[in-house]
Amino acid sequence: MKRVITYGTYDLLHYGHIELLRRAREMGDYLIVALSTDEFNRIKNKKSYYNFEQRKMMLESIRFVDLVIPESGWDQKKIDVERYEIDTFVMGHDWEGEFDFLKDKCEVIYLNRTEGISTTKIKKELYGDNAK
Ligand code: C2G
């Protein structure tokens, strides 16, 4: 069984997120999403509209996702890759190169982001330019 992992906040779930998850799942047989906790979002300077439990429940309802675990810090990836026996680590290409340190443990793949959609774009178009 080929096991894939990816990380993110996944707030205001949109088709760009789903496209990432679909492609990540297609790379193996089992997809784990490490979902940023509300506390880690603060460290990432991201304020999510939905809290961790709400974002977790939505991800768990997606057929491409097999398991959702918490992402509580920047330095858990190596431990996760070992603990969950990961074959492939996947992130959007906005992170290109940032996680190459994992290459001695698993395949590292950066996928093109889906153009024209982002959580920030949704907020700005709904709430105006002072949204962040
Ligand atoms: N994404 C995408 N296309 C978009 C928007 C997002 O492919 N239009 C991808 C991102 O590249 C990322 C995933 O969807 O791989 C989740 O996006 P975010 O929730 O914004 O993730 P981020 O805050 O970048 O968290 O430790 C890594 C961090 O937790 C990554």
Ligand 1 centre and the CA of 7: distance in Å?
A: 7
| Mean pLDDT computed over 81-106 | 98
CATH 3.30.499.10 given to domain 3-127: no
- Distances in Å between the Cα of 48 and the Cα atoms of 9, 23, 130 are 8, 24, 16
pLDDT band at 128 (very low <50, low <70, confident <90, very high): confident
Mapped onto helix, strand or coil, the DSSP state of residue 80 is helix
Residue 132: per-residue pLDDT: 62
Give the atom of ligand 1 at the shortest distance from the alpha carbon of 91: 15
Read off the pLDDT of residues 44-72 as tens digits, 9 standing for 90 and up: 999 999 999 999 999 999 999 999 999 99
Q: What is the model's pTM?
A: 0.96
Residue 131: per-residue pLDDT: 65
Mapped onto helix, strand or coil, the DSSP state of residue 2 is coil
Ligand 1 centre and the CA of 60: distance in Å?
A: 17
Hey, where are the domains in the chain?
Answer: 3-127
Give the atom of ligand 1 at the shortest distance from the alpha carbon of 93: 11
Query: Could you give the angle at the alpha carbon of 70 between the alpha carbons of 65 and 76, nearest 5°?
Result: 110
